[in-house]
Amino acid sequence: MLIDTYGRVATDLRVSLTDRCNLRCTYCMPEEGLQWLAKPDLLTDDEIVRLIDIAVTSLGIEEVRFTGGEPLLRPGLVGIVERVAALEPRPQMSLTTNGIGLRRTATALKAAGLDRVNVSLDTLRPDVFKTLTRRDRHKDVLEGLAAAREAGLTPVKVNSVLMPGLNDDEAPDLLAWAVEHDYELRFIEQMPLDAQHGWKREGMVTAGDILTSLRTRFELTAEGSEERGSAPAERWLVDGGPHRVGVIASVTRPFCSACDRTRLTADGQVRTCLFATEETDLRAALRSDAPDEEIARIWRLAMWGKKAGAGLDDPTFVQPDRPMSAIGG
């Protein structure tokens, strides 16, 4: 079991498969990209599967989410999914992606055992998409979403970040579109995880702003806390249901007290929190032929030291050195 000193138990593992991405979203990385990890620094497919095996069979992990960077850029992704699906007990598996490669991979991922996907899409307007991502790939994302739904990777969840002056007027349109296409939309407050450290609390689009905008067109009925559990998104029924919309308010409505996540970076570091400034190295243990029991012990010790919260409301908050593309969302 992965328990911390506050009694929280981690059952959800987020695994970053690569730090690379084929978009350049303004809230994540600079236009020229980043200095990518060298290939020898990345975990191999075998190492990733071994760590997930340890997490599932020895540490109580029940859900595995593959992230990046962009996980569809990982050449061995389908094989990794297939091998994790064969574990006993079998964890639930999902993938967070920008959707660009989904049209060609959705069917294979479903056949390998993937359960569902989260796809990032911040706008319905191709010109705004190009401004936000610095790439002209809007059509590819829409096709990827449709392919995921047709392959049965459901519920298909769509993650949207609203940025002032760019797409902050699109919340009602995005929700109407998601309802029409049977996607579950989740708005995410912009977080201080950009490589250029340009995030500012002042002027960010908050959960309150988003809900106010949505209520100009929809009736929203809040789900209870029992329905939410440890999920990061607060959810509302749209016009009485069955469709729902979620808001992940990491900045203005933090949910740290219910956090059940542990994170593994693409180079084999355990992160106890998305906003952590410390990491614990599992790659070194793997490559020094440490037995599974020792790796599990190191992981338990790392999680035992997890802090009470992310500290975003602390005026002395220090933004992590690694951007979101390197540690997974």
| Tens-digit pLDDT profile for residues 44-74 | 999 999 999 999 999 999 999 999 999 999 9
Question: For residue 242, is the peptide bond before it cis, meaning its omega torsion is within 30 degrees of 0?
Answer: yes
Q: What is the mean pLDDT of residues 131-151?
A: 96
How high is the pLDDT of residue 32? 67
**Is 131 known to sit in a ligand binding site?**
no
Closest CA to 71 of 95, 105, 93: 95
**Is 134 known to sit in a ligand binding site?**
no
Query: d(Cα 261, Cα 302) in Å, to the nearest integer?
Result: 13
More reliable by pLDDT, 189 or 92 = 92
How high is the pLDDT of residue 199? 47
**Is 157 known to sit in a ligand binding site?**
yes
Please say if the pLDDT value at position 106 is more than 80.
Answer: yes
**Is 235 known to sit in a ligand binding site?**
no
**Is 263 known to sit in a ligand binding site?**
yes
Please say if the pLDDT value at position 159 is more than 70.
Answer: yes
Please say if the pLDDT value at position 326 is more than 80.
Answer: no
Q: What is the mean pLDDT of residues 104-117?
A: 98
Closest CA to 159 of 194, 204, 191: 191
Q: What is the mean pLDDT of residues 134-142?
A: 95
**Is 8 known to sit in a ligand binding site?**
no
Neighbours of 168 (CB within 10 A): 15
Domain residue extents for the chain: 2-326
Q: What is the mean pLDDT of residues 103-111?
A: 98
Out of 155-159, 225-229, 266-270, pick the least confident. Answer: 225-229
How high is the pLDDT of residue 251? 83
How high is the pLDDT of residue 100? 96
Q: Which amino acid is at 278?
A: E
Tell me the sheet residues that pair with 94. 65, 116
**Is 103 known to sit in a ligand binding site?**
no
How high is the pLDDT of residue 274? 83
Which is the CATH superfamily of the domain at 2-326? Aldolase class I (3.20.20.70)
**Is 26 known to sit in a ligand binding site?**
no
**Is 259 known to sit in a ligand binding site?**
yes
- Per residue, what are the HEC states of 85-123? HCCCCCCEEEEEECCCCHHHHHHHHHHHCCCEEEEECCC
**Is 262 known to sit in a ligand binding site?**
yes
pLDDT in tens, 15-51: 999 999 888 887 777 666 677 889 999 999 999 999 9
SS3 state of residue 177: helix
Query: d(Cα 92, Cα 74) in Å, to the nearest integer?
Result: 20
How high is the pLDDT of residue 317? 52
pTM beyond cutoff 0.75: yes
**Is 105 known to sit in a ligand binding site?**
no
